[in-house]
Structure 1
Amino acid sequence: MNVQNHDLALRMADLARTVALRKVDDVLADVTSAAMELIPGVDVAGVLLIGRAGSFETLAPTNDLMFKLDQLQMRCGEGPCLEAALDEIVVRTDDFRNEPRFPTYAPEVVELGVLSALSFKLYTADRTAGALNLFGFQPKLWDAEAETVGTVLAAHAAAAILASREGDQLQSALTTRDRIGQAKGIIMERFKIDDVRAFAMLRQLSQDTNTKLIDVAQRVIDTRGE
């Protein structure tokens, strides 16, 4: 194992241990920092998340220039980050001065002093998509080995994002269950009925008022002293 591969293995092990233990923003910051260290020629790195109706978010940028690059890309409606997030797995630009795929974006990026790009799909879901994006100030910087390293880093970034969302969903589910349980208890005590009938009352109220069950439960909790 050469020095670069050894360093990559060590960083991957560190990142794997931190995915489940730290906030997603911190893990993504480690990923973009690792890209700067492990892939020669990377001058700017960041993660772009694309939502519905054209919304987007730049996460873990190593330089404020990443905000400009992402904003420009979304305004132009084209670029390596967009293509990686929505279509391709890996998108590489060796020289923006000769990049026919992005006729609007490329000239403006060159004016910012950026000549190379390497973008990796994180995931594409129903409502969101994401990419790990690397930019360089010099042309023709990266080869297949750089793409391999970036792909591994992107996998860790994706794992951090998906783990965070699963955690948020789990917490939301637990909160919902707890509130419905509280509301059932209040109704059981107020009307002297069992839990099955109490839940049936909550569900009927939800249907009659066209209101989410969790919102009905919260109203019951909020008015328990009345």
Structure 2
Amino acid sequence: MSSREGPGVCGAGRRATAPAEGGFAMLPPTDPTVEPAAGARDLSDFTEAAMRCVEPCCGAATTVTDGSAERRAAATHPDLTTLISVELDAGEGPTSIALDTGEPVAAIDLLDEERWPEYRAAALESGIRSSVTMPFRRSEVEVTLSLYSFHPGAFAHLAHHPVVVLGEQFAQGLVRDHFYRAALAQVNQLETALDSRAVIDQASGILMHALGCDPAAAFDVMRRFSQQTNRKLSAVAEEIVRSRGRSLRAQQHPR
């Protein structure tokens, strides 16, 4: 049996996919034939790549928060999903401390660990003897990477390990995605506003012709009708354009 295999945690290529407790969503599995580097921005691929990057590691788990209400997480084995849930439910453990301090948190030998009783019990039940949790904070994005081993003292020399660079690059990639999505949402809002403005202007022209009024009066007519019918101004304008103003006149002057 290799150091990556053993009771409970380390089936090769296995990833946690079921929903877990503790207020976060476990991501679905990715194609195991995809190279980790090719999907480095995917949370599951990153977690798998990190586990493979460190020789004593038998499993890994990652959590991500980006300002939204939901915390995302991925793990290489269902037992590690449970372990993260234990941490979050208990409100104690290396993940919360790493996020609070911004520093790596190591459990050198969980047989001797006294800081987190519930985490310790759950980890030992899965055969884990040591762990390290590393935080990566970039702008609004917070990432934690936890590595686990069946052996005590397995992660004593990770300060300059390539897995640290991998974590930093992953966090930076999430920041780029975060700002890209925010910019895209803003562009969509602007496009919607421009489209609405065009329809409103067209509807104003129809009302000006039908009612013999100026632009301000036409807009005021639409605004009042929007309030009376509890509909968006753009929806009222679209109806006026479709009916060439007849629908509004019918509402104002019913037979």
Runs of 4+ in 1 over 4 A off after TM superposition: 50-55, 215-224
Compute the TM-score of the two structures, normalised by the length of structure 1.
0.69
Q: Which residue of 2 aligns with 1:98?
A: 112
Selected match of 1:70 from 72, 84, 91 = 84
Of 133, 137, 150, the residue aligned with 1:123 is: 137
Q: Secondary structure at the match of 1:69?
A: helix
Does residue 133 (structure 1) correspond to residue 146 (structure 2)? The answer is yes
Q: What letter matches 1:38 in structure 2?
A: C
Structure 1 distance, partners of 2:54, 2:79, is 19
Alignment partner of 1:225 out of 242, 250, 253: 242
1:141 Cα deviation after fit: 0.5
Which residue matches 1:86? 100
- Where in structure 2 are there 5+ consecutive unaligned residues? 1-35, 209-214, 244-255
Structure number with higher relative contact order (C-alpha < 8 Å, ≥ 6 residues apart): 1
Matched ranges for 1:28-47 at <5 A: 28-47=43-62
Aligned residue in 2 for 1:5: none
Residues 1:171 and 2:184 aligned together: yes
Q: Considering only aligned residues, what root-mean-square deviation do their CA atoms show, in Å?
A: 3.4
Q: How does the TM-score come out when normalised to structure 2?
A: 0.62
Question: Structure 1: any 5+ residue segments left out of the alignment?
Answer: 1-13, 210-214
Shift of 1:109: 1.6
- Specify which structure has the higher proportion of helix: 1
1:29 alignment partner, SS class? helix
Cα distance change of structure 1 residues 105 and 160 upon mapping to structure 2, 3 Å threshold: same
1:189 aligns with 2:206: no
Kept in 1, the 8 Å contact 2:64–2:71? The answer is yes
Matched residue count: 189
Distance 1:159 1:51 in 2: 12
Q: Say if 1:141 and 1:177 are closer, same or farther in 2 by CA, change over 3 A.
A: same
Q: In 2, are the aligned partners of 1:80 and 1:91 still within 8 Å (CA)? A: yes
Report percent identity of matched pairs.
Answer: 19
For the structure 1 residues 156 and 104, does the alpha-carbon distance in structure 2 shift closer, same or farther, using more than 3 Å as the test? same
